[in-house]
Structure 1
Amino acid sequence: MKPAIPSMLTFSLLFSIPSLADVNYQIDLTQSQHHLAQVSVDFPLSKASELNVQLPVWRTGKYQVLPLADSIRYLSAKDANGAELPVSRTANGEWTVSLSQPTAVSISYQLYLNKLGQRVGHIDASHAFLDASGTFVYSPEFRNEPIHVAMSVPSDWRSHSGMASGDEANTFVADNYDVLVDSPIETGINQQRRFSADGRDYELVIWGEGNYDVEQMVTDLTKLSGEADAIWDGYPFERYVYMVHATSGASGATEHLNSTIIQRPRFSYREREDYLGFIKTASHEFIHTWNVKAYRPQGLVPYDYQQENISELLWIAEGSTSYFQSQLLLRAGVITPQEFLEDLAKRIARSELTPGREVQSVAEASANQWTSTGGDYAINHSTNIYSEGFLVSMALDFSLLDETDLKSSYRDVHKALYRDHKIPAGYGVADVQQILQQLTGEDYTNWWQTHVNTPVTLDFLTLLSQAGLQISYGEDSKAIAFSGMEISGKSLTLQQVLRDGPAWQAGIVLGDEIVAINGLKVTAGGFDARIKDFKPGADIEVTLFSDDKLKSVSLTLGEVQSGKLKLVSVKKPSRAQKAFFKAWSGIDWPFDKKGKLKADD
């Protein structure tokens, strides 16, 4: 049976409509326990023969087409007199309303939102998180018109958004749909803290219980928020909202126009390593307020919400943001020099174990991001715009510092992008290369071809030496056996086989199930320990099931260094190396005369 849908008259009693010229949204969240809401939108007078109504097929911050329109049922349309209008489904995320004469149009539909982890919307008895891309349909004809959003919510709910508040409680206004789609709403039972930094107002809004320390979060977010002038001249906002979901499993984050949504498991804040995950994410999304929201590649300007927005510069949008996130935290005193160097060391170690960096450039990875699915194939044959984009950004930063005798850095590139290429201008490869030439007096075409358009393997020893750093695995490090494969935690089924590694060479493939080594049974959890029983170069017999068939293969073990990759001081660092480190990181040389980090004293 079709559920009862409130009439437009009912909605007119529930909500105050400020202007018939605006696009007015109303959403009823008073019966939210089953993840359902009722949405109505009033469009101004249309003189066309039909009105296209659309819901985006992707959301900003996630470069992937999603089935967002599957959350909509019972969509109907009425004219200004309340008469039903014919509606037909014409494309993914598109409906067409037939108009026999000029009229204003009202659209209503039932909305189901239970996509917390995807951050496109979630409704339950305690809150609603509304990202417009998964919540509010729009019409291209009225995309640039002013927006008014009114919500009917339980009496104990509080509503927050980067949008300006309307004249009444639980209402918001925006200049156009582009602002709405980049200004999610968090409404429900939540905590809020307000603070200021560098003349700007900030809010921290937390939904969900957990082991977080609100006051610590406010202290560190205040320090972070005041450090933006290390990169940019000026702000693209007057007010900024940090939204946090303390959840039971969902994790991730998305940047928005002057807000962010950060999701972390509710008990992942107490331990320092866990808390660093939160504050680094906050820094990443805060930086996005400039890098992506204030300026972004031409392929994403303006956003086309109904199809992929391809760009070969996503490595700058994402990888460079990752590169700056720990720098800002270090400069702000939120993380220690040791934590800063540990983060960089992990990224280098991860890159060294990603064969795909030898196959795909960061430019190609950027263009392919919309179809990237991750997994074993990606590790072996692809690169990542976040992790490798980080390292290419670092290489470019070091090049700029070297070419200009420490007078200019990669921060100056982003300062120029914000100054000269704000939305709606966008920027292209030629624009970035022109900025590089202006800063250094050098033509960066060859550098770009080698590091951006071609798969790159960086010489970390030479690169890090400029900043007085070197790679170490510890004094007790030694060569140990390496199989080049990983098994899943609770079974002996292979979840990763590194391209051209020992297992790959032996013909072992993803999905094979290890049974025995040299005729002796291997148990779950004991595989790595068994491999350590052998020396590098040893030949072992691996018995396994492959496609349900039992077979044995001969595997010659490779070698890796034991211990964890660390970044330490070179012996007797020069003044030039110490100066380079400071120009790069923003802090004084952190090691004492014995090469020990001063923060460890």
Structure 2
Amino acid sequence: MTASKFASSVSAAALALALAFPAHADVPAPLDQPYPGTIVLNVDATDLSQQVFRMHMTIPVKPGPLTLLYPQWLPANHGPNGPITQLAGLKFTANGKPVEWKRDPVQVYAFHLTVPEGATSLEAEYQYLSPLEPGQGRITMTDDILGVQWISTTLYPAGYVARGINVQANLKLPAGWQYATALETDNRAGDDVHFKSSDLETLMDSPLFAGRYSKRFDLDPGGKVPVRLNVFADSPESLEAKPEQIAAHRALVQQAYKLYGSYHYDHYDFLFALSDEFGGIGREHHQSSENGVKPGYFTDWAKSETGRDLLPHEFTHSWNGKFRRPAGQNVPNFNTPMDNELLWVYEGQTQYWGNVLAARSGLVSAAGARDALAASAARYDSVAGRAWRAVQDTVYDPILNARRGLGWPNWQRSEDYYVEGMLIWLDVDTRIRELSGDKRSLDDFARAFYSVNNGSHLPAFYTFDDVVATLNQVQPYDWAPFLRAKLDGHGPGAPLDGLARAGWKLVYTDTPTDYLKGVDDRNKVLDLTYSLGFTVTQDGAVRNVVWDGPAFRAGLAANTTVMAVGDRVYKPELLKAAVKDAKDGKPIRLLVRKGNVLRTISLDYRGGLRYPRLERIEGTKDRLTTIFSALK
């Protein structure tokens, strides 16, 4: 797409947002004009011991005022949270002499400077400081793995649409390391990698993983376009995958093609890190995805099922979120606000398809998929904050909260459009199946909505009305008021009609499912959400107190520590036993500490241990099994 066509396609929603957040007078607005020349970006990623990325950028310029921007609104993060505090050491020179800069007092991601007479290029030197500890942000460099997110290492000139700026990137790697990226490589000389020039949007959307230990798996042998699983790990042992494990990942690709009936990339690269130190992540890109989990994904396969919906989710985003995008995401550059109104489609439907594809491919068993759905249904059925805040309003959380921790998440709500959105789309799917006599389903919506312009990389934007129109094309119904009631309503409880229509109901038993055991083991917590109304870590730290639940009414908060159960020092097993004994009338007494104060509390609860699972509704059609079954 030319810069002219891109600029002319900027949506009315994006323009309205730009007016709502007017540019400071000194920050040029992005216009329909190509940037003259090609910017050269050099990244040195060899300082593993201090975890510092060092950049040198050469920018073609002409004398006079110039404003450079650091990306603020990050696609896939859904908010204005570019890591500008990690940018350091910023210096400019022209013709070998320093050029002073000044930060814009309103748009603090903008830097103003004046290019001196006679200068044709501006040299910039700066660093990106990877966090050293998790509390400082996501760690992107360790002794064994690094991740280059170009969007965190790049400055760009204001006044131009992103697609009109060309950048040629180069990377210096630690000795002997291998790398993977969707960016096209021109050549590699030793540990210096030179990439082909690309427009700024493509560069920003093509992160890179590199590592000391790596392995690449072909997920579509003989396919029309390559799909690769690029694995990086803390040790070579973590890379050992069995043939049947890779077969499930290959099945994921084929099931996605059968579902969406298209692809919109020249090649697709899963960037996959298995590490205790490299920061965990799940982030979508058009021709790749960044994925980071703990070691054991392959080597402890039986216990890693709870995390195997990550790759299907991010793969789905190539279709939903990167190819088909909400109209409010149609912005000219990375410092223009985005409209998150349709994230319940962008993320909510992706959450649905990610779980479905995980089951259809065999990455997750049918029982595991049901147990995960039960956990999601129970969690959102217990959200007290629904009484005052609709799920539609949660799409603004990435802007409001920037994914910081919450003291009362059950009451405040967070980014619930992901999983509650998934439950809404289950309702849509089963409703289409019921209305059509099981002749049509949400699969038909996926093919109609995502298969347009097969092979094209250019984003196709959509509105709420476009979603409704395609649903009506698949199955006539009052979809607009149906969706608005789900999105804007207040319950009571989660939208579980789709679950019942699928032939299953949410029940509670005194034994956790294997899925819940896996989650608790991974997070090292005892989950008593559906009994006492909180979770607690192995060392007694209280977490996630349910608003107005038994623990809440007893005065517990998430800054409290359980010291003892009755007269015995706290252990998770003792607390579980106390909950069981309370069914027989024995009180649950806890010694708790908040700050320097100790007190004893009594919890009024007699319901025993409660863990969610799904149970078949007798005499109904089992649509859920059909939904989770592989497409032929």
TM range (shorter): 0.7 to 0.9
Q: CA–CA distance in 2 between the matches of 1:334 and 1:571?
A: 28
Cα distance, 1:472 vs. partner?
Answer: 4.9
Over aligned residue pairs, what C-alpha RMSD do you find?
3.5
Cα distance, 1:179 vs. partner?
Answer: 0.7
* 1:479-558 equivalences in 2 (<5 Å): 482-491=531-540, 493-514=541-562, 520=567, 523-525=570-572, 526-535=574-583, 544-545=592-593, 548-549=596-597, 555-557=603-605
Task: Indicate if the aligned counterparts of 2:542 and 2:559 stay in contact, CA closer than 8 A.
Answer: yes
Change (3 A) 1:232 1:28: same
Change (3 A) 1:558 1:178: farther
Q: 2:102: which partner in 1?
A: 88
Q: CA–CA distance in 2 between the matches of 1:313 and 1:293?
A: 13
Change (3 A) 1:396 1:172: same
Q: CA–CA distance in 2 between the matches of 1:262 and 1:453?
A: 32
Task: Indicate if the aligned counterparts of 1:342 and 1:566 stay in contact, CA closer than 8 A.
Answer: yes
Cα distance, 1:156 vs. partner?
Answer: 1.4
Q: 2:185: which partner in 1?
A: 165
2:252 is the counterpart of 1:240 = no
Among 335, 349, 352, the alignment partner of 1:306 is: 335
Task: Indicate if the aligned counterparts of 1:27 and 1:37 stay in contact, CA closer than 8 A.
Answer: yes
Q: CA–CA distance in 2 between the matches of 1:255 and 1:362?
A: 23
Q: CA–CA distance in 1 between the matches of 2:317 and 2:355?
A: 14
Among 387, 401, 405, the alignment partner of 2:419 is: 387
Among 135, 148, 165, the alignment partner of 2:153 is: 135
Task: Indicate if the aligned counterparts of 1:538 and 1:557 stay in contact, CA closer than 8 A.
Answer: no
Q: 2:613: which partner in 1?
A: 566
Change (3 A) 1:503 1:512: same
Q: CA–CA distance in 1 between the matches of 2:328 and 2:338?
A: 6
Q: 1:24: which partner in 2?
A: 40
Bigger-Rg structure (1/2) = 1
Q: CA–CA distance in 1 between the matches of 2:507 and 2:557?
A: 32
Cα distance, 1:195 vs. partner?
Answer: 1.7
Cα distance, 1:238 vs. partner?
Answer: 2.0
Identity %: 19
**Larger RCO, structure (CA 8 Å, separation 6 or more):** 2
Among 221, 224, 230, the alignment partner of 1:205 is: 230
Task: Indicate if the aligned counterparts of 1:481 and 1:531 stay in contact, CA closer than 8 A.
Answer: no
* 1:443-454 equivalences in 2 (<5 Å): 443-454=478-489
Q: 1:12: which partner in 2?
A: none
Secondary structure of the residue aligned to 1:60 is: coil
Q: CA–CA distance in 1 between the matches of 2:174 and 2:558?
A: 51
Task: Indicate if the aligned counterparts of 2:366 and 2:628 stay in contact, CA closer than 8 A.
Answer: no
Q: CA–CA distance in 1 between the matches of 2:184 and 2:262?
A: 21
Q: CA–CA distance in 1 between the matches of 2:306 and 2:388?
A: 30
Task: Indicate if the aligned counterparts of 2:44 and 2:54 stay in contact, CA closer than 8 A.
Answer: yes
Worse-superposed segment, 191-200 or 323-332 = 191-200
Change (3 A) 1:231 1:23: same
Secondary structure of the residue aligned to 2:410 is: helix
Q: CA–CA distance in 2 between the matches of 1:200 and 1:165?
A: 17
Q: 1:335: which partner in 2?
A: 364
1:4-53 CA distance string (max 9 Å, x none) = xxxxxxxxxxxxxxx99222212233454322343122223446x32221
Amino acid at match of 1:264: V
Cα distance, 1:176 vs. partner?
Answer: 0.9
2:256 is the counterpart of 1:221 = no
Change (3 A) 1:107 1:122: farther
Q: CA–CA distance in 2 between the matches of 1:451 and 1:283?
A: 26
What is the number of equivalent residue pairs in this alignment? 560
Q: 1:54: which partner in 2?
A: 69
Task: Indicate if the aligned counterparts of 2:505 and 2:617 stay in contact, CA closer than 8 A.
Answer: yes
Q: Under a length normalisation based on structure 2, what TM-score does the superposition of the two structures give? A: 0.78
Q: CA–CA distance in 2 between the matches of 1:244 and 1:534?
A: 46
Unmatched 5+ stretches in structure 2: 1-34, 513-528
Cα distance, 1:475 vs. partner?
Answer: 10
Change (3 A) 1:176 1:536: farther
Q: CA–CA distance in 1 between the matches of 2:443 and 2:497?
A: 22
Cα distance, 1:415 vs. partner?
Answer: 3.5
* 1:421-460 equivalences in 2 (<5 Å): 424-457=459-492
Q: 1:350: which partner in 2?
A: 379
Task: Indicate if the aligned counterparts of 2:505 and 2:614 stay in contact, CA closer than 8 A.
Answer: yes
Task: Indicate if the aligned counterparts of 1:162 and 1:239 stay in contact, CA closer than 8 A.
Answer: yes
Q: 1:405: which partner in 2?
A: 437
Change (3 A) 1:423 1:397: farther
Q: 2:30: which partner in 1?
A: none
1:105-149 CA distance string (max 9 Å, x none) = 333223244248799773455453210121122223453223211
Cα distance, 1:485 vs. partner?
Answer: 3.3
Worse-superposed segment, 417-426 or 65-74 = 417-426
Worse-superposed segment, 391-400 or 523-532 = 523-532
Q: CA–CA distance in 1 between the matches of 2:412 and 2:82?
A: 27
Unmatched 5+ stretches in structure 1: 1-18, 589-601
Cα distance, 1:256 vs. partner?
Answer: 1.4
Q: CA–CA distance in 2 between the matches of 1:488 and 1:124?
A: 28
Secondary structure of the residue aligned to 2:304 is: helix
Amino acid at match of 1:72: L
Task: Indicate if the aligned counterparts of 2:286 and 2:318 stay in contact, CA closer than 8 A.
Answer: yes
Task: Indicate if the aligned counterparts of 1:121 and 1:131 stay in contact, CA closer than 8 A.
Answer: no
Change (3 A) 1:203 1:263: same
Q: CA–CA distance in 2 between the matches of 1:76 and 1:543?
A: 56
Cα distance, 1:380 vs. partner?
Answer: 2.3
Task: Indicate if the aligned counterparts of 2:390 and 2:489 stay in contact, CA closer than 8 A.
Answer: yes
1:417-444 CA distance string (max 9 Å, x none) = 4356985452222222222233322222
